[in-house]
Amino acid sequence: MVEWTEQERNIITSIFSNLDYDDVGPKALIRCLIVYPWTQRYFASFGNLYNADAIKTNPNIQAHGTRVLHGLDRAVKNMDNIKATYAELSVLHSEKLHVDPDNFKLLADCLTIVIAAKMGSGFTPEMQATFQKFLAVVVSALGRQYH
Ligand code: HNI
């Protein structure tokens, strides 16, 4: 089981409580779709993804980015049980959506970059270390039901 120090818990709570979900969520998903274009294949029903501009202004992508980011709230609220928290979401991504689990890490990295760009020097190395630890646990939990 993953152990969290009091400081790590405070860092995660503080990052998420100051987060603008409607800004950061879309930006992270958009960045993922542009930087790793093969991730676009799962969003064929979302409309125009023809180029970077189309992706950036696609309202379905924006809405989904916010939704995915809110999906992380569950982990924030259940830091001691992230694995079980994502069991159902893992089954969905595996059995229904057939999302390659390698892509979870790519989206997680895009999210870290977007948050770093927003927070600037406020995103200290300690904060980054904790945030990436948190996302690594989420990524692992989302990939759990694939085996
Ligand atoms: Ni993901 C649906 C959360 C990574 C493709 N995804 C969801 C939903 C949540 C969610 C929440 C809505 C579920 C429901 O309908 O009940 N996704 C997350 C989280 C991560 C993640 C927390 C990682 C941090 N998803 C990814 C990645 C891809 C992805 C990396 C593809 C590259 N997800 C999807 C698709 C759907 C989806 C596709 C269904 C969209 C739709 O509405 O048709």
Find how far residue 94's CA is from the centre of its chain: 16
Q: What is the pLDDT of residue 142?
A: 97
Q: Quickly list DSSP for 94-111.
A: IIIS---THHHHHHHHHH
Residue 111, domain member (yes or no): yes
Distance (angstroms) between ligand 1 centre and the Cα of 121 equals 30
State the CB neighbour count (10 A cutoff) for residue 143. 19
Q: Is the CB of 85 under 6 A from ligand 1?
A: no
Distance (angstroms) between ligand 1 centre and the Cα of 65 equals 9
Residue 118, domain member (yes or no): yes
Q: Is the CB of 131 under 6 A from ligand 1?
A: no
Residue 1, domain member (yes or no): no
| Cα gap 8→14, rounded to integer Å | 10
Q: Is the CB of 39 under 6 A from ligand 1?
A: yes
**Domain boundaries, position 69:** 6-146
Q: What is the pLDDT of residue 1?
A: 76
Residue 104, domain member (yes or no): yes
pTM of the model: 0.96
- Divide the 147 residues of the chain into consecutive groups of 10 and give the mean pLDDT of each group: 94 96 98 98 96 98 98 96 95 95 97 97 97 98 89
Q: What is the pLDDT of residue 110?
A: 98
- As for how many domains the chain has, the answer is 1
Mutate to test the pocket of ligand 1, among 45, 97, 144 (most ligand atoms within 8 A of CB): 97
Residue 80, domain member (yes or no): yes
Q: What's 22's domain CATH number?
A: 1.10.490.10
Residue 103, domain member (yes or no): yes
Helix (H, G, I), strand (E, B) or coil at 71: helix
Q: What is the pLDDT of residue 146?
A: 86
Residue 56, domain member (yes or no): yes
Q: Is the CB of 28 under 6 A from ligand 1?
A: no
